[in-house]
Amino acid sequence: MNKTVLEMNDITMQFGGVVAVNSLTMHVDQGEIVSLIGPNGAGKTTAFNVITGVYPPTNGNVFFNGNKIVENYPHGKMKKLYAGTDNGKYTEHIEPTPDQITRLGIARTFQNIRLWKSQSVFNNVLIAKHMLRTSNVFTATFHLNAAEEKRQREETAELLNILGLYEVRDNNCTSLPYGLQRRLEIARALATKPRLLLLDEPAAGMNPQETIELTDFVGKIRDDFKLTVCMIEHHMDLVMNISDRIYVLNFGALISQGTPAEVQSDPSVISAYLGEDENA
């Protein structure tokens, strides 16, 4: 049995009176590619924001490699407003910041590309590596971190070479074709040396050929970097071709889970995407 890398238990995220995610429980095992899918507004990116410390959940907890990294419960004003389930089940308040989550070994990309637009391809990746620096103000001031800086530059060059971006390393990142910008964003995430990679709609805006190439690319980096991948995606061909398992959200609630074949034939999934037949 594979080790569970990510585990979410009863995650509820409520904004005022709106329950964006309601009691989501899911897990991702080591080496898997797991997709989280659902119609627009289903709560997928909100779930990623909880995992990565952008939002503390209103209720529930998250484990990473067996260690609890996030937990919360309805308190303060939310104690009266809470409309989710599992109230009273959780009692701790653990609220890490996104940089602390990244240091644990979880990296992510975003639905909208967030490259440092004024910088080169090389610098976009190198800056991400700076998160791993052991130097401080003193060692940097007196140039005592030269060996570490040299090593990080070498690692950046090696990563760009592996991902097919070395030839454009000196180009401004905004000059790249859209598909390569997506690849660069993934390279920047990989620069932090994650064990779990979260991809938020990596194929968004891509043409069919770029989507095919991305499918191969995600599988390759999973194998080459020995990663576990959790992905949000709307391109169903990509999802069905690459996923080991799939979770389906609709209006914040989990409505289906299983293999691609199981999910694809689930009537509740078909209904969520296509709507109910009023004449049925």
Rounded to two decimals, the pTM is 0.91
pLDDT at 1 over 70: no
pLDDT of 77 over the 50 cut: yes
Q: What is the DSSP letter of 112?
A: S
User: Distances in Å between the alpha carbon of 35 and those of 1, 20, 254, 263?
Assistant: 20, 19, 13, 11
Give the separation between CA 47 and CA 255, rounded to whole angstroms: 15
Tell me the mean pLDDT in the region 106-119: 91
Read off the pLDDT band of 138 (50, 70, 90): low
Task: List alpha helices for 163-264, DSSP H.
Answer: 178-190, 208-224, 236-242, 260-264
Q: What is the 3-state secondary structure (H, E, C) of 131-159?
A: HHCCCCHHHHHCCCCHHHHHHHHHHHHHH
Taking a C-beta distance cutoff of 8 angstroms, is the pair 165, 121 a contact?
Answer: yes
pLDDT band (50, 70, 90) for residue 133: low
What is the spatial distance between Cα 262 and Cα 255, in angstroms, rounded to a whole number? 12
Contacts of 135 by beta carbon, 8 Å cutoff, 6+ apart: 144, 145, 148
Yes or no: domain 1-104+244-280 corresponds to CATH 3.30.70.20: no
Query: Is the model's pLDDT at 278 over the cut of 80?
Result: no
